[in-house]
């Protein structure tokens, strides 16, 4: 087993790569089967033929993509989806825009939240503030 981020050998029981600190299974620059460098956007490793999954792997207890997307669509004006994902700065900005303007500028935050909610559901935003993959 090899690190998908740096290509070094990884103990199958390890949670993170000792060399680069990346969680096992995350990354997309190297093949997890043989450790050789992958071509950008490749579906299979050209060295060993192993199928490559470049999508981030969600850890147990990961935040839900569906919940975050729906919070963005329906409560985006208050930044609830960003609070849920841990993006506190953006969340506070959305909340303050709505509240301090006495809701006259809430439409700005709502459009912002609607766009982010759609991006989350479409997979364009697929990690939380800590870089953890969102669960499907």
d(CA 136, CA 120): 11
Spatial distance between the Cα atoms of 1 and 27, rounded to a whole number of angstroms: 13
Structure tokens at 73: 């669509």
pLDDT averaged over 10-residue windows placed end to end, the chain, 136 residues? 88 87 83 86 84 69 94 96 97 96 94 96 93 88
Q: 4 and 27 in contact (C-beta within 8 Å)?
A: yes
Yes or no: say if 118 and 69 are a contact pair by the CB < 8 Å rule: yes
Quick one: pLDDT at residue 109? 94
> What distance in Å separates the CA atoms of residue 67 and residue 121, rounded to the nearest whole number?
9
pTM of the model: 0.62
Largest CA distance in the chain: 60
What pLDDT score does 38 carry?
87
Length of the chain: 136
d(CA 121, CA 71): 11
């Amino acid at each position: 087993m090899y690190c998908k981020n740096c290509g070094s050998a990884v103990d199958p029981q390890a949670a993170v790569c000792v060399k680069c600190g990346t969680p096992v299974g995350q990354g997309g620059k190297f093949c997890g089967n043989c450790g050789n460098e992958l071509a950008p956007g490749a579906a299979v490793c050209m060295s060993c033929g192993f199928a490559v999954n470049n999508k981030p792997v969600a850890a147990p207890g990961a935040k839900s993509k569906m919940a975050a997307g729906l919070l963005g669509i329906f409560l985006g004006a208050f930044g609830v989806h960003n609070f849920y994902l841990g993006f506190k700065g953006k969340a506070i900005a959305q909340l303050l825009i709505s509240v301090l303007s006495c809701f006259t500028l809430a439409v700005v935050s709502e459009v912002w939240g609607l766009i982010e909610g759609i991006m989350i559901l479409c997979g364009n935003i697929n990690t939380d503030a800590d870089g953890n993959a969102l669960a499907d």
